[in-house]
């Protein structure tokens, strides 16, 4: 039986302030919770219907709930068998490693974009993202769902992007309309790819710190590309160039 206070507390984790105070986040759905169980992240509690028939260790605090109860605490339109309360990982101090790609996000505000970019990073073997402090929280429930489990493997560090770019000694690539067409680049060295805000692009103060502005040539009539889609296209070309990947 799920108490009203418990349900209210779980729902409160949809708010950034509550997540920061508690160090906890919500993960929902069979695939995501299965991945979490097989990861090093600490699960505080699992709420599941009888449909979720996984055999798990007694170390887990498992609460069986009805479908109606799960729907009450779910942040999804339709609850999917299981919801977990998970401790946010504490990443090790940020290290910039040569011959290893990183992504820097300048004011990415859409949870779907953030989650998809984390998933794209995971696809390309990138395990570190630096995000400006005005970017959406990586443990926002919509972000977590959009990562499809990649939030387990990709670390997101929040800090001033300008200071970060000033400190790195690797090439800095930036997604800019006036950049060099990415298809024509013959050779690249691993570095940092900067992706700007969905509507305003990369802030002006960051432009002098970009060594190689790149763009995706437009063939059709679309006004712009989604930030996550652009990230995937650029990484597909940049990480495939040269011999150091």
pLDDT at 122: 98
Contact 136, 143 (CB under 8 A): yes
Give the number of other Cβ atoms within 10 Å of residue 3's Cβ. 8
Question: What separation in angstroms does the CA of 239 have from each of 24, 125, 129, 200?
Answer: 34, 10, 16, 25
Give exposure, 23-54, as e/b (b: 16+ Cβ within 10 Å).
ebbbbbbeebbebbbeeebebeebbbbeebee
**Could you tell me the sign of the dihedral formed by the alpha carbons of 214, 216, 217, 218, in that order?**
negative
Q: Which residue is it, tokens 């700007």? A: 196
Domains of the chain: 4-87 (3.30.1330.30), 102-238 (3.40.1280.10)
Q: What is the pTM of this model?
A: 0.93
* Residues with pLDDT less than 70, the chain: 241-245
pLDDT at 241: 62
pLDDT at 165: 97
pLDDT at 155: 96
Nearest to 67 by CA among 52, 57, 87: 52
57-79 residue pLDDT tens: 888 999 999 999 999 999 999 99
pLDDT at 244: 39
pLDDT at 201: 94
pLDDT at 245: 36
């Amino acid at each position: 039986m799920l108490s009203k206070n418990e349900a209210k507390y779980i729902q409160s984790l949809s708010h950034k302030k509550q997540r920061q105070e508690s160090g906890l986040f919500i993960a929902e759905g069979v695939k995501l919770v299965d991945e979490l169980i097989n990861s090093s992240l600490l699960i505080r509690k699992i709420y599941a219907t009888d449909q979720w028939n996984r055999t798990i260790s007694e170390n887990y605090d498992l609460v069986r709930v009805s479908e109606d109860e799960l729907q009450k605490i779910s942040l999804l339109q339709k609850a999917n068998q299981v919801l977990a309360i998970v401790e946010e990982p504490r990443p090790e101090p940020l290290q910039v490693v040569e011959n290893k790609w990183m992504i820097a996000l300048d004011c990415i505000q859409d949870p779907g974009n953030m989650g998809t970019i984390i998933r794209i990073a995971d696809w390309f073997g990138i395990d570190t993202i630096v995000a400006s402090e005005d970017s959406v929280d990586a443990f926002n429930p919509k972000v977590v769902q959009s990562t499809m489990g990649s939030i387990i493997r990709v670390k997101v560090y929040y800090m001033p992007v300008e200071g970060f770019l000033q400190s790195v000694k690797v090439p800095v690539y930036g997604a800019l309309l006036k950049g060099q067409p990415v298809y024509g680049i013959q050779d690249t060295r691993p570095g940092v790819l900067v992706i700007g805000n969905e509507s305003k692009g990369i802030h002006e103060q960051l432009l002098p710190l970009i060594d190689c502005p790149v763009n995706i040539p437009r063939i059709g009539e679309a006004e712009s590309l989604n930030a996550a889609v652009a990230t995937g296209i650029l990484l597909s070309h940049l990480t495939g160039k040269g011999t150091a990947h």
